[in-house]
A and B are shown apart, each in its own frame.
Chain A
């Protein structure tokens, strides 16, 4: 592996008069994306003296700068906002960072680890080339021996097919476009999706005076705090966040789970279907389809709520058993179990879209990575990424920063550190192995 090569920091400066096609540059590892995952990998590669570059379509923390709604805060407490060699050191370890604070945190980290970021460089293609890769970008090609894809898990909003049958006079938005309630027309809003995004948007939009109907399928109900501590602290303490992908029966199932129903707020509020219902939000089943101008909702709402309540009780039991087993002092006794989710006796099953009641729809129905530029055989028949804890079938190609990549916490900023450390070790061994093979081949 090479330790030479210029170190770049901050925006790329290129000489005038050089066309994009002429700029063919080399490095050992190209990391695609300079968000928390890419930066964590950069730090791990620097520690191993592996020459690399981070290609970033915009600036560091680009999706945080451009694709988040105004009120969003991290779902994890500040103490948990940590990356290799860097952590939150402010006076509010139990608070939740706002989006500008996350951007600051990552900017500071990029500078602290001296990450060689090429900004405003959009990756257009990744292809194999001899024993490495060629990464085509808006600013020319890069040749490298290894590629780490850290371009994010939430580049695209996953929208159901039914969205295409929405009448044209109803505003249709994804959470990537939504910023604040006053962006929406007055009148009723249908929020589809009961994960963190869906419940947060339902809450703030309903409070803005626009009556919300919330369509909910499978969801994960958790309280913000339990027995005096943040739920994330408990998940960390009892070992759930550290649970590895090779320790569960079906990691693909876990990867598809919706995010926890959580909001990061200074008041440490819990938002769940009961709190939304009390606010006046109308809760209905998952959007099952749109036919003849009528939106249909699944009749499975009662069971989805029963499943979430049962899982919640199992989680709290797990925490209680852990506390009992540790003889922890100073932990308040368990409070009564949360009230089971109240479901209307007769939840709405159909809604005529032409009635004018619903003026806008927000599809908070999940996110997907956008890897349309990755021209390598790493996708299964359903176009899902095939990988073993971030290690793909293509030697030298790695994935980072995806849900449950190697651990439950992989989806969090706090998960990037362990994953980057392990994958950079694998990457270094692969590079060393490849070099050794070359050496033997040449020697023979």
Chain B
């Protein structure tokens, strides 16, 4: 008996609008709403809705023996809710059959597993909650963005209580081993690992409509024969692919829906194939051993590594700049900042910056809004600059948020100094506008201001100006005067020098003039 595990990836990022550097600090909307709506609606009509309907029919037609699994990113679900709610309804119908398993992944379809465990866990929880809310399932199987897997990532996933994780059956991981067995994580044997059979998966996902391919046209019958040709001792064939394969990457006209329609029927009549989901398989099969993946591997390109998203100078700078904000963003309570933090993490943004395919970028041009990786980088960095300013501003404006950091304390001090300087200035202006002839107004100035005003005034003039204003005023002026003036004031007082009315007026006038020149 041979198990076949079909899992489809559903993900669409929030694509960014053209965001110029002069938008930084001025405009905080980052997304190309029109384009996102258009793409979601288009893919919904060409792929998600017809493919879901077909799967629902197949499940019902084959007496619920046909099973599939989905991983739908949080940002994709969010866009369905926003732009195509009927897609959600359609997935709910599938969920209701009981034959569809929904997997957990990171909400933002991010590569955060490589950067922050806390944030990784947070995003998975968000995603699990959303799946539970929409489809009434609490995922027990996990798949990471782009099937990125390493021993360490597996260990984290195990800690979160998942029993099985999906990964790429890359040659450089497996060596002579076959992807058609169940394995386990090399640190935590409790976590089972299912590996993608990339040849059979890509026969559908990439080669199906390739007329130069020697096997074209591919029929369900032929395909089932290939599955049956796998060594009988190997218990499972994992077919993992993007859901957009059906109707979008491979257009309806290529016959891809007919192929899918025929597949379960042929599987049931010509062989003893059973369709199963990842969690079922992890309960059913025994692990044949642990799989060692010291460096993260993915399902992309020939290299099956991370170089589609990370590695060139642009990607690394953008990625590091983004995740350097992790600590700060954690303190922010603002919902729009929280939301953008997630949307900006989608791996697609880094994928667009890849320079590997300068020559043949056909596969990667798909849905790519940028002509060159540089444009992708520039646009993303502009957005990130604005985002970073918003985070800093929020933290400055909300000094009481729980985790006080040294960085934030600095920001606060700097800002309070700025604020104080501003208020001095304003007050001075306000007073200028008022009755400047009343000398008593002068006395309302703060010490700081007054000190500044009388700094360059002759001590005799000061002494004259404050004649008859009382001990308190005298003391204050003495305190604020320059050391030299202070001595002279002391002297005049000791000598009990009297001032004529004229001298008093002149002294006050001098201080007034000085005050005026400062407030200009």
Task: Decide whether A and B are members of one complex.
Answer: no
